[in-house]
Amino acid sequence: MSGSGARGPKGNNLKQLTAAGSSRSATVPATMGYSIGTLQYVVTVSLGTPGVPQTVELDTGSDVSWVQCRPCSAPACYSQKDPLFDPSRSSTYSAVPCAAEACLELGIFREGCSSSQCRYVVSYGDGSNTTGVYGSDTLTLTPGTTSSDNAVDTFLFGCGYAQTGLFAGIDGLLALGRQSMSLKSQASNAYGGVFSYCLPPKETSTGYLKLGGPSSASGFATTGLLTAWTAPTFYMVMLTGISVGGQQVGGVPTSVFAGGTVVDTGTVITRLPPTAYAALRSTFRAAMAPYGYPSAPAMGILDTCYDFSRYGVVTLPTVALTFSGGATMSLEAPGILSSGCLAFAPNDGDGVAAILGNVQQRSFAVRFDGTSVGFMPGAC
C-alpha cells in the first residue's frame, strides 16, 4: 500500500454489537511491515486446525477480516509473506451458507452466492479490492500456544480468491472496526469489547495489539467516541486544536473540524482539513526556520521537507493535537516527520472528516472501550 493511502472501506450501514464485560485478555506483538514491503503495521496470528501462521495488517478502519486462500495464483492473488491459507486442510473451516445470519449481516459487503456459499467483497478508499468466500475457522491470537484464552472459535473472515490494488506482502487484514463482523465485535463476549494497541516507532522495535484487559482507562488521556455518523465502522473523535512549539496554531475556525476525526491504523499519513493543514504547515515552517535546515523536494503528498543529511542531531519544534475534553497527543519526532517531511497532508475539504494516521499514533498506547478513545505516550 502507498504511504498516503487509506485502508478504510467505502461506506457502511450495519448494526453495532454491544460488548459484554470480561477480564480475559490476549496480547499479540505488532511490528512495522517494512520488511515485507508495506508501510502498514502487522501482527502474526494463527488460522485453522492445525493452525497456520498468517501475517495480517491491523486496521481499525474496516470491519471484514480476510486472508488470501488457495487455490489462487497471480494476478488474482499477489505475493505475500507466508504460504496461502488452504481451507481444505483445516478440520475446523466451514464456508458460511448463503441463508445464514452471518451472510445477511455483511450488508454492503455481501456479493451474492456461489454454490450455496456466501460471497463477500470489500472495496477500500485507496482503490484496493478483495473478494471471495465468507467462511469461519478458529483464530488463535498467539501462534504456538494452546490456551483457549487466546482462541476465537468460529471466527468469521473472508477467504480471498481475487485481490486488486495496493496490497503488498501481507497475508490479509485483521479488521478492528465497530461493526458486527470485526474481530473486536466477534470477540466482545470473551474480551469485553475493550482493545488497545501500541504501534512501534521503529522497524527494529515491537509494539502490541491487546484484546481485553482492565476496564479502567486510568493513565490514558481520553476523549469521547462520537456515534452520530453515517459511517459507523469508524472510531470518530473530535479534534479541536493543534499547537506547534507550545503555541496554538491560529486562523482555524472550529467549524473546520466539524466533520470529526477517524482514528485509523490503516491510514499512514494524517489528513487534516485544508485550512487546518495550511495553518499547521505555515506555523511549522516558521518554527523550523531558525534552525537553518535546507529544504528538500516534496515527496508525493508531503510538501514540507528538509535535508538533514549533514546533521547528526536534529531539533524539532513540538507538535501537539488536542481533542474534545482536553485529551492531548504531544507527538514525538517519529510522529512529526516521515522521511524528512512534515507527516501531515490535506484532505478533501474543510468540514470533511480528518484522519489520525498511524505515523502520528506511533509509540502511543491507544485504547478503545466503546465510549471513549484514550492515548498514553511512550508505551512501546
| Tens-digit pLDDT profile for residues 48-60 | 999 999 999 999 9
Check: CB of residue 141 under 8 Å from CB of residue 152: yes
Higher pLDDT, 229 or 358: 358
**Which CATH superfamily is 221-376 part of?**
Acid Proteases (2.40.70.10)
Selection from 10-24, 155-169, 213-227 with the highest mean pLDDT: 155-169
pLDDT of residue 17: 32
Q: Is the pLDDT assigned to residue 335 strictly greater than 70?
A: yes
pLDDT of residue 11: 37
The rounded mean pLDDT for the chain is 91
CA-CA distance, 318 to 328, in Å (whole number)?
12
Higher pLDDT, 99 or 126: 99
Q: Is the pLDDT assigned to residue 35 strictly greater than 80?
A: yes
Q: Beta strand 172-175 with 52-59: parallel, antiparallel or unpaired?
A: parallel
| Tens-digit pLDDT profile for residues 61-80 | 999 999 999 999 999 999 99
Residue numbers annotated as active site: 59, 264
Q: How confident is the model at residue 28 (pLDDT cuts 50, 70, 90)?
A: very high
Q: Which of 151, 16, 173 is nearest to 85 (CA)?
A: 173
Q: Is the pLDDT assigned to residue 46 strictly greater than 80?
A: yes
Amino acid at 239: L
Q: Which residues contact 101 (CB under 8 A, 6 or more apart)?
A: none
CA-CA distance, 24 to 210, in Å (whole number)?
10
| Tens-digit pLDDT profile for residues 243-266 | 999 999 999 999 999 999 999 999
Q: How confident is the model at residue 126 (pLDDT cuts 50, 70, 90)?
A: confident
CA-CA distance, 107 to 10, in Å (whole number)?
13
CA-CA distance, 370 to 185, in Å (whole number)?
10
* DSSP letter for each residue of 128-177: -EEEEEEEEEEEESSTT---GGGEEEEEEEEEEEEEESS--B-SEEEE--
Total count of residues recorded for the chain: 380
Check: CB of residue 295 under 8 Å from CB of residue 284: no
pLDDT of residue 20: 38
pLDDT of residue 376: 96
Sheet holding 341-342, edge to edge: 295-296, 305-306, 341-342, 337-338
pLDDT above 70 covers a percentage of the chain that reads 92
CA dihedral 373, 377, 378, 380 (to 10 degrees): 20
Beta strand residue intervals within 332-371, DSSP E: 337-338, 341-342, 344-346, 354-356, 365-368
Amino acid at 148: S
| Tens-digit pLDDT profile for residues 168-221 | 999 999 999 999 999 999 999 889 889 999 999 999 999 999 999 877 888 999
Check: CB of residue 301 under 8 Å from CB of residue 342: no
Q: Is the pLDDT assigned to residue 299 strictly greater than 80?
A: yes
pLDDT of residue 98: 96
CA dihedral 72, 74, 76, 80 (to 10 degrees): 80
CATH class of 25-212: mainly beta
Q: Around Cβ 190, how many Cβ atoms within 10 Å?
A: 20
Domain residue ranges in the chain: 25-212, 221-376
Torsion region of 197: left, alpha or beta (phi above 0 gives left; psi -120 to 50 gives alpha) = beta
CA-CA distance, 222 to 327, in Å (whole number)?
6
Higher pLDDT, 240 or 126: 240
CA-CA distance, 197 to 28, in Å (whole number)?
9
Do the domains spanning 25-212 and 221-376 agree at the CATH topology level? yes
Segment 271-298 shows an average pLDDT of 98
Check: CB of residue 195 under 8 Å from CB of residue 211: yes
Q: Is the pLDDT assigned to residue 4 strictly greater than 80?
A: no
283, containing H or E segment: helix 274-288
Q: Which of 25, 291, 262 is nearest to 142 (CA)?
A: 25
Q: Which residues contact 86 (CB under 8 A, 6 or more apart)?
A: 52, 69, 70
